[in-house]
Chains A and B, each alone.
Chain A
Amino acid sequence: MGAWRVVGTSVRGASHRRRGLPNQDALRWWPDSGEGPPLAVAIADGHGSARCFRSDVGARLAVETALEVAAATLEGGGADRPPDLAGLEDLVEVLTRRWQAATQAHYLAHPFGPEEVQRLVVEGGAAAQESLAANPLLAYGATLSTVWLGQTFLLYFQLGDGEVLTVSQGGQVGRPLPGDARLFGGQTTSLCAPGAWRDFRIAFQTISAGTSPAVVLLSTDGYPNAFREDAGFLQVGADLLDLIRQEGLDPVAAGLESWLAEATEQGSGDDVTLGLLCHVGALPALLRPPAAAPAAASPPAAAGIAVGAL
């Protein structure tokens, strides 16, 4: 089917810089070469609220865990055959439980210090302290979006806010995952919630050289929130495909940091992270199409998405 590559970057939010907060997003891919298939990319967004004062660690553990599970699934021939759709539920449960185990291990190795507790009480109140005592993993709360590429399929997983977009080889932008009405007004589902695996949204897509997306984008919510209109964010997908065709993937990768920095400065103020999974093997064979308008809001889906109701 041809080669794929992943590139991406993450920038600290403008408001985080002003408030002395770290970048609470995380981005990682597997394998380290960024080439495949098999290939997987994961991004996570630590919540950053008073209760979630270790969410930068939670986000880092989320992408590490996702890629461990991805590698275990895709290695050893796993990338050569379509996945067992019925097993996808088990996969997200395994992923969630491993994240919980990883954060629990971090907590046991690094119990909350007096400064953290004091800051929690000042910023979150007594109720926040009580909720942390009941569930220390709240401190690590984070979202997770991850996309896995096999020889003939793409798997999309998302828990919480952020965006996953596909850009077809014709430049049409779509959302492969169903929406979640709870993700509104700064509220999100989270890995730290009990039974969080039930909140994952999942999509499976069979692909071939002609039907695969040209680009898959994963971003934390700081990126879409930086645009005045949703259409302006969707335009990113079509524009990136044009830029990759005109300039190549490496110059685009080199430009990401300044574009994302501009987005947080002039837009959301939040941390902004973008991962791009690019089907570079398909691009040289394409003629440059006319600029395509971004698809209207929600309907997904690049041609070829095969979704299974399990």
Chain B
Amino acid sequence: MIRRPGGELATRPLHFIWLADCSGSMGSHGKIQALNNAVREAIPHMQRVADENPNAQVLVRVVRFASGAQWHLGQTTPVADFKWDDLKAGGTTDMGAALKLVAGELKIPPMSDRALPPVLVMISDGQPTDDFGKGLDALLGEPWGKKAVRVAIAIGDDADLEVLRRFIAHPEIDPLQANNPEALVRHIRWVSTAVLQAASSPASQTAPAAPAAQPAIGGTVPAGGAGGSVQAPPAPVLAAVAPVAAPGTSADVW
């Protein structure tokens, strides 16, 4: 048997980052504890999906934002080792700071350009108290920020849906609305399974066509080609499998 040509083989990293609102309002009506319970409940399902997709190396991190933003779990953690430490509520809603924090980690390097598009899950019950637009610009200014699969869960009626839509930035995807703990569990489980599954085995997406220009001949790229705009990521897949928003029920507490 002849030796195999080439260097070390490796599965492709898939970064999955939770961005959790820990503002003071999350402390009311049991929201923060419901979030802690929901993520903890979803972990085995997340690990099962990861096991079923062994060519994606799922790496989890957690950002908490309140008055400022910090890594709650900053070490890239293989999903098999992922454990959830309870979040606590208190402070304002510095969502923009959270986006800037994540944007810094999506630069290449430390990210690899052979990674799978990362998954960013934003969970919030309120309105940003800092410069959200600046944070979003920083995120979408990074190639992997722009290509990330971005999903948002709105907790309660006070969540700023328009801000979450700007975060998602895809016409076919709306924020998921959770008005009670059961809905939150359902949505968290969905992003931990269906979204993770879609992100783990993405198919190629077609890029926008080049503007009318000459083909690239030996060193030239069509005008407007390099660095040109790119389409949203595997979001159509998410649009197809996203849970349908349920009407309000008597179980709603938020």
A positions within 8 Å CB-CB of B: 14-15, 18-19, 45, 47-52, 85, 88-89, 92, 121-125, 127-128, 138, 141, 143, 160-161, 176-190, 192-204, 221, 224-233, 235-236, 239-240, 243, 247, 251-252, 255, 259, 262-264, 266-270, 305, 307-310
Q: Which of A125, A138, A202, A243 is B217 in contact with, Cβ under 8 Å?
A: A202
A239 vs B4: C-alpha distance when bound (angstroms)? 8
Least Cβ–Cβ distance between A7 and chain B, in angstroms: 14
Q: Does B9 lie at the interface of the complex (its beta carbon under 8 Å from any beta carbon of A)?
A: yes
Is A201's CB under 8 angstroms from B6's CB? no
Knowing A50-B240, A198-B222, A243-B2, say if A228 contacts B9 (CB, 8 Å). yes
A-B contact count (CB 8 A): 239
Give every chain B residue within 8 A of A202 (Cβ-Cβ). 215-218
Is A196's CB under 8 angstroms from B209's CB? yes
Q: Does B81 lie at the interface of the complex (its beta carbon under 8 Å from any beta carbon of A)?
A: no
Is B226's CB under 8 angstroms from A181's CB? yes
Knowing A180-B216, A308-B218, say if A227 contacts B209 (CB, 8 Å). no
Task: Render B188-219 as a binary contact track against A, CB cut-off 8 A, 1 for contact.
Answer: 00000000000001111111111111111111
Q: Does B110 lie at the interface of the complex (its beta carbon under 8 Å from any beta carbon of A)?
A: no
Q: Does B221 lie at the interface of the complex (its beta carbon under 8 Å from any beta carbon of A)?
A: yes
Is A309's CB under 8 angstroms from B220's CB? yes
In terms of DSSP, what is the predominant structure of the interface of chain B?
A: loop
Closest to B215 in A: A200
B positions within 8 Å CB-CB of A: 1-12, 52-56, 113-114, 116-117, 143-144, 147, 172, 201-222, 225-228, 230-231, 233-234, 236-237, 239-240
Closest to A46 in B: B204
Least Cβ–Cβ distance between A24 and chain B, in angstroms: 9
Given contacts A189-B207, A193-B209, A227-B7, 12 further A-B contacts (CB under 8 A): A18-B52, A127-B236, A181-B226, A181-B228, A184-B230, A185-B144, A186-B117, A193-B208, A198-B211, A204-B217, A259-B5, A262-B9
Least Cβ–Cβ distance between A167 and chain B, in angstroms: 11
